[in-house]
Amino acid sequence: MSNPTPTLKRHNHRVHPCKDEKKEELLRFLLEKNNDKKIIVVTSTKTELSTEQKNVTIVSDEELTANKELTCNMMISYDLPPKASKYIDRISRTDTFALILVNPSEEKVIHPIERLIGRTIMQENVEGFSEVREEKVAQPTRKDSDPREDRKKEFLSRGEEKPKREFKEKKPYSKDDRADRGERKPWEKKERKENKFLGKDESGKAIFSGKSGDRNHRHDGTPKGKPTKLTGKKISIKSLKKEETE
């Protein structure tokens, strides 16, 4: 089956919402309004609908499928078939217009048809047959709301302002402040105290105020001097050369 979508212009393919009890009345209104067109009215099952207009043919889906040569200028679907593919067979028989009469509670059955034809079907409310819908204002979801803005609005509604946080003025940090608190940076050298000789213990070993005293002083407490540098015997190279030449 060829795709019927190109033969139907979008503004000629419409849905008329209507309650079931007013469908027959709306159908008669549409037939009288379009009495200059060849019309097919199709239902999903056999129906007792009838009309005296010569330009109108009322059939079921089964009868429409059996009669391959039946075509029209306007296809009116009194109801919708259970399968979207059946509806595609209906609109393949019209060359200009396609109208759908559907109860507002059954509008969800149009979605599979729209997916199949690849576009939405326009909706037109016929005055006196469709209910005026009350538009609801969408409430913000939890995801859309901003908690900070909500708290701000709450403060403003109470006539209060959010208290501002006070910051104390910081004084410039100096080395003297660190010294007062006993702080020392890793790169600052520690003040070295003089290592004093305090005397000797009972065994005669010298005692010092610092830990480095033992390695910097002798056993008797006298400071260690610099070790004498050992040097070898100096030999004159010139004298050696003279001896070899002789």
Instruction: State how far the Cα of 130 lies from the Cα of 107, in Å rounded to an integer.
Output: 13
Mark out the alpha helices in the chain (DSSP H runs): 23-33, 61-66, 84-91, 110-117, 147-157, 175-180, 213-216, 237-245
Residues 13-34: b if buried by 16+ CB within 10 A, e if exposed: bebbbbeeebbeebbeebbeeb
Q: Are 46 and 92 in contact (CB under 8 A)?
A: no
Cα 177 off chain centre by: 51
Element (H, E) at 57: strand 56-60
Span 124-145, pLDDT tens digits: 999 888 765 444 444 555 555 5
pLDDT tens-digit readout, 147-199: 677 666 766 666 555 556 666 666 665 655 555 555 656 666 666 667 677 77
Q: Is the pTM of this model over 0.85?
A: no
Most confident of 56-70, 115-129, 208-222: 56-70
Of the candidates 78, 68, 61, 60, the one whose C-alpha atom is nearest the C-alpha of residue 22 is 78
Which domains are assigned to the chain? 5-123 (3.40.50.300), 196-224 (no CATH)
